[in-house]
Amino acid sequence: MRTLAHASATAAAVAVSLVLAPSAVATAPGDNGTVKIHDATTGEELRKNEPHVCTFYLDAFGFDAGQQVDWHIEAWAPTADVKGETVKTGSLTLDAEGHGRTDDLSLPDGHYKLFWNFDGENGSAKHKVFWTDCEDDTEPGATTPSGSASATPSDAVEPTSSASPGEAAPAASSSPSAQGAAGDLAETGSGAPVGILSTAAAALLATGGYLVFRRRKSASGQS
């Protein structure tokens, strides 16, 4: 009876150890976290990776409390002149929840690879490849879209003038016309209206003709 009880207790202990073993492995210190590339405008709480950025930071989640991290970034193909050249390094102490982030970082436009090393890691470092691309940012001195520029005083069309500098431009009404401003008849060079002179000439001709007629009539009566 005692033998049976001992065997039962041994079997129970083995069963408990088998049940608890996976849990112990899962909670052991080591590679149980992840690191993300975040755009500088992305919140720390968002656990997403952004492989195309301009200004950025490194954001770590789910590591062990207080874990020490050393990281570096290398230039990477196809844009790197020398593959594997380290272009930026840093270190970080994670908080009690295994979370931490770097300051905002920037690199020339190109392709890069992050290597993330920490206390208790197993195997190779965690890593992420990403691109920096700031070409879309508006630069000072960019051309203004067509149609949006306002006219400047130099754009206004000014009337042309043949007057030389320092001389007043001739008035539009200074040239002589067939009629005066009030519709009067044209004037001669002396200023007398042409119509009046014509009327006076006609009256003189009529008077002269009448006198010639009377003189001829008197002459015929006397004969």
pLDDT in tens, 137-165: 545 444 434 433 343 444 444 444 444 44
Q: Specify the CATH superfamily of domain 34-132.
A: Macroglobulin (MG2) domain (2.60.40.1930)
Asked if 110 contacts 75 with a C-beta cutoff of 8 angstroms, the reply is: yes
Asked if 38 contacts 56 with a C-beta cutoff of 8 angstroms, the reply is: yes
The one-character DSSP state at 105 is B
pLDDT in tens, 56-105: 999 999 999 999 999 999 999 998 887 789 999 999 999 999 999 999 99
pLDDT in tens, 117-144: 998 888 788 999 999 999 865 454 444 3
Q: At 113, is the secondary structure helix, strand, or coil?
A: strand
Q: For residues 155 and 7, what is the distance between their CA atoms, to the nearest angstrom?
A: 105
Could you tell me which residues come within 8 angstroms of residue 60 by beta carbon, excluding any fewer than 6 positions away? 33, 34, 35, 36, 69, 92, 94, 98, 99, 100, 101, 116
Q: For residues 55 and 104, what is the distance between their CA atoms, to the nearest angstrom?
A: 7
Q: For residues 76 and 3, what is the distance between their CA atoms, to the nearest angstrom?
A: 67
